Amino acid sequence: MKIKKILYLIPLLIMLSGCSSSSDVRNKAFIKELGADFGASELSVSLRTFGNDKDVVSGKGQTLLSAIGDCENTQSKNLFSGHLEVFASSPANIGNNLLALLSNNRISPSCYVLCVAENAADYIDSNGGRLSELIRSNGRNGVIMPQTISDVLNDLLEGDEKAAVPTNKNDTLTMAVITPNELIGTLSEDESRGLCWLCGNVNDIYMPIEYDNSRSDFYIRKSSTVIKAEKSEDKIKITTEIKINGNSEGNTSNPEKEKTVVSKAVSSLCSRTIAKTVIGMKADLFGLEKTIRSAGLCKNMEWEEIIPILEFSYKIKISQ
């Protein structure tokens, strides 16, 4: 498969991404953020370079690389993408866009990916060079899962050919589900948080809780997630076990009740996410099929044939 072959070349591409001399550095501008949109007949891009957050350069072309080349026509330097931090793409042909970047020997495979439903190029223009920090901060807060080009392409290689990527929704970041050619759905904030829990990416955050007409914050110091699969009569039972180490940040007279509230809240987030992604979109975003296959189950069944026989449960264990 073309994607897989290119992924094998990533280490070589990284080695080739360096500049060979000081004159190379003087003759190049380093792209920081890049946005790409497919129009009816051509692709348009907008980009921002390091050291020049105020100005955005635009270009057009039949392909992503030719559009970047068009941007170079307005510059006195060649544009170098080896340190690219963020690539924002419209859904159309996003898989080929990612491949085009990896095929270019100046690309950084650790670059973050955003899928923007409309006007990805304008989104670059409107965020003032702070997209990478915005992605990282939302990731630290358990709102989204930052995804790199390598992450997304690896996910698109899986059997369902779907991947989760951050997206812009009502001027905030959440997660979306894509195929190589389209955006098939956007998650709500709660569903996006649930995906973070299912993938085990929740540490060092505060969870607001409410009970007995009082509100407080529960500090999640760290957590771990394990998903297990076992046969139960004619069903496949999927158990999500989440271990949380944390404590209440307020004065509480009933710590056990707080733990129950947190447990129910986390279970609810995971349940909503599974209903939206696995059941609704038939998307495997957290290695569920691999877990089932590793347990020796459903060997002769396709992924979409497995979904109707899945039953989900949650075990949340909280310690201080």
DSSP codes joined into one string, 231-281: EETTEEEEEEEEEEEEEESS--S-HHHHHHHHHHHHHHHHHHHHIIIIIIH
- At residue 100, the pLDDT reads 78
What residues does each domain of the chain span?
A: 2-186, 189-319
- At residue 211, the pLDDT reads 83
Could you list the pLDDT tens digit for every one of the 320 residues in the chain?
555 555 544 544 444 444 444 445 567 788 999 999 887 778 899 999 998 877 898 999 998 888 988 998 877 778 888 888 999 999 988 888 888 788 765 667 789 999 998 888 888 888 777 899 999 999 999 999 999 999 999 999 888 999 999 999 888 999 999 999 999 999 999 999 999 999 998 999 999 988 888 888 999 999 999 999 999 999 999 999 999 999 988 766 688 889 999 999 999 999 999 999 999 999 999 999 999 999 999 999 999 999 999 999 999 999 98
Residue 140 phi/psi, 5° resolution?
-60, -30
Residue at 176: amino acid letter: A
Half-sphere exposure of 130 (CA within 13 A, CB side): 6
DSSP 137: H
Give how far Cα 318 sits from Cα of 128, 224, 250, 261, Å.
41, 11, 17, 11
pTM: 0.87
Please name the residues in contact with 274: beta carbons below 8 A apart, sequence gap of 6 or more: 194, 198, 312
- At residue 252, the pLDDT reads 67
- At residue 2, the pLDDT reads 52
The label of the residue with tokens 């419209």 reads 90
- At residue 25, the pLDDT reads 55
- At residue 41, the pLDDT reads 79
Provide the CATH number for the domain formed by 189-319 in this structure.
3.30.300.210
